[in-house]
Amino acid sequence: MISPIVDVPPIDNEPSLQRALCNGDTIAESGPVIRFVDLFAGLGGFHVGLSRLGCECVFASELDSDLRKIYEENFALRPCGDIRKVKAKDIPAHDILCAGFPCQPFSKAGEQLGLDCEESGDLFRRIIKIARFHKPRLILLENVANLPKHDNGRTWEKRFRRRLENAGYNVTEKELSPHQFGIPQIRPRFFVVATLDSLDGFEWPEPQTDLSDLSIRTVLEQDPTDARKLSELHQEAINVWQEFIDAFPSDEELPSFPIWSMEFGATYPYEDSTPFNSTSQLLSRRKGSHGVPLNQFSPEERFEYLPSHARVKSDKFPDWKIRFIEQNRELYRKNKDWIDCWLPKILKFPSSLQKLEWNCKGEVRELSRYILQLRASGIRVKRPTTAPALVAMTTSQVPIIGWESRYMTAKECSRLQSLDELSSLPSNTCAVFKALGNAVNAELVRLIAERCITHLQNGSSTLNAKSRLKTVTSTEPV
């Protein structure tokens, strides 16, 4: 029998994973149910994944009131609101603590304020406080892939990992994406496994090596009635870019770099200087977006007729931007004759539709065959093997099924997150895609949790004494 973990607060109901391991039960056996808490629960990706293993959720938290209602409809459990207002002692005893804590402070798409974000960056401290009180045998965390890179790695190594270790946990982490396991979405995420047991011998789920059968079609519905069609403006922009592709020399590869049509004919300075750092007289002799002469505008107006990526108050562009500008201007010089005939057609569209990212090297040059995404960086074109990562920003970035000229439905996107079981989703279009963009993939949760529980079962008789006896009396503030 396993010796009890030291310094466990007195509770009336011993966590079930501890009892299951002591009794030699396996996941499939009818022993004590393994219990978990679902913090920052969202749509319940952790809940779905662990429920597939027969685990029971005994507590959940979610700040968004609409999502709390949806969660209750799906799981018959009403989450609490602000976890910061809940005392650790009022949370039921549990074996597994799950948390997909807010990712915006660490995402490349945000300001990357990290733990300095007053609204949500410090919520990790709440996780640690609950873990110190309840000593769950296992902690499962998920966040954006950028987290371990934030602040040159210091945020993860010196603040997150260190706090987990000071609370008595052994820690391992891994970046995984659903597409590595047969789910047609490329969405790299950062997963953390922390356990009071030794991690010797623990193995993460092994990604598949053969992805040849991966196809977005496996999650698509046939003629869905609720699918949102492309607007006339967006369809027209796609048609104009198809004309560009048709006119491109057939014996040359389409560019792998982002195509920025506003650089076609532009001559403003970009290599050693920027428009912001240039004299008014110099700019008056140059051309701005799509080759418009800048001398016809007043000095105050000239900035407005530059590409948006050039309207920055900086003395020098970053190297990547210089490279893209140079590549696009060279593309224009080589193909000026036919591009000049095409160029007027793109001018009517907003800047985000004046750019194209072709990610289908060597494939048939027909946009209607692929998955499209309308991004601030342009129209992104991807093979129909996978969907781009769902994002929690706007409905405009929902993947587009090119051959049906429609956006993916909420139900299809829920399948990308392996949330097929959900019977209730937010009714508001913006809310449902935001929630799905924030969700953790339930199947990845299941795969990771299954490995963790099996590891704990296999090692229950040889628990690392050092890990059991790690002190939890650290003076580190929580």
Report the C-alpha gap between 188 and 389 in whole angstroms. Answer: 8
Report the C-alpha gap between 98 and 392 in whole angstroms. Answer: 20
Residue given tokens 């948390």 in the structure block: 99
Residue 28 phi/psi, 5° resolution? -80, -20
Query: What per-residue confidence (pLDDT) applies to 149?
Result: 86
Name the β-bridge partners of 382: 371
DSSP for residue 44: T
Report the C-alpha gap between 321 and 89 in whole angstroms. Answer: 52
Give Cβ neighbours of residue 252 (< 8 Å, ≥ 6 apart). none
Element (H, E) at 403: none
Q: b/e per residue, 265-302, with b = 16+ CB within 10 A?
A: bbebbbeebbbbeeeeeebbebbbbbebebeebeeeeb
Residue 24 phi/psi, 5° resolution? 75, 20
Q: Which of 101, 135, 104 is nearest to 8 (CA)?
A: 135
Alpha helix stretches (DSSP H) within 308-352: 319-334, 336-342
Report the C-alpha gap between 296 and 86 in whole angstroms. Answer: 63
Give Cβ neighbours of residue 459 (< 8 Å, ≥ 6 apart). 197, 198, 200, 201
Secondary structure string (H, E, C) spanning 206-255? CCCCCCCCCCHHHHCCCCCCCCCECCHHHHHHHHHHHHHHHHCCCCCCCC
Report the C-alpha gap between 421 and 189 in whole angstroms. Answer: 22
Query: What per-residue confidence (pLDDT) applies to 23?
Result: 43
Share in percent of the chain as helix, strand, coil (round to 5): 40, 15, 45
Instruction: Report all structural domains of the chain as residue ranges with CATH numbers, in order of start.
Output: 16-208+440-468 (3.40.50.150), 232-416 (no CATH)
Which two structure tokens, joined as six digits, stand for 127?
Answer: 């996780």
Query: What per-residue confidence (pLDDT) applies to 17?
Result: 54
- List Cα–Cα distances, 44 to 58, 68, 90, 262, 425, in angstroms: 13, 10, 21, 43, 11
Which two structure tokens, joined as six digits, stand for 464?
Answer: 């690392």
> What one-letter code names the amino acid at 10?
P
Dihedral angle, C-alpha 170, 206, 175, 374, nearest 10 °: -160
- For this structure, is 103 an active site residue? yes
Query: What per-residue confidence (pLDDT) applies to 471?
Result: 32
For 246-369, where are the E strands, in sequence order? 259-260, 355-358
> What are the per-10-residue average pLDDT scores of the chain (478 residues)?
29 48 44 88 96 96 95 96 93 95 55 47 85 96 88 84 94 95 93 95 92 92 92 97 97 96 97 91 94 93 93 93 98 97 97 96 96 93 88 74 94 93 90 91 97 86 34 38
Query: What per-residue confidence (pLDDT) applies to 147?
Result: 87
| Identified catalytic residue from 98, 103, 360, 413 | 103
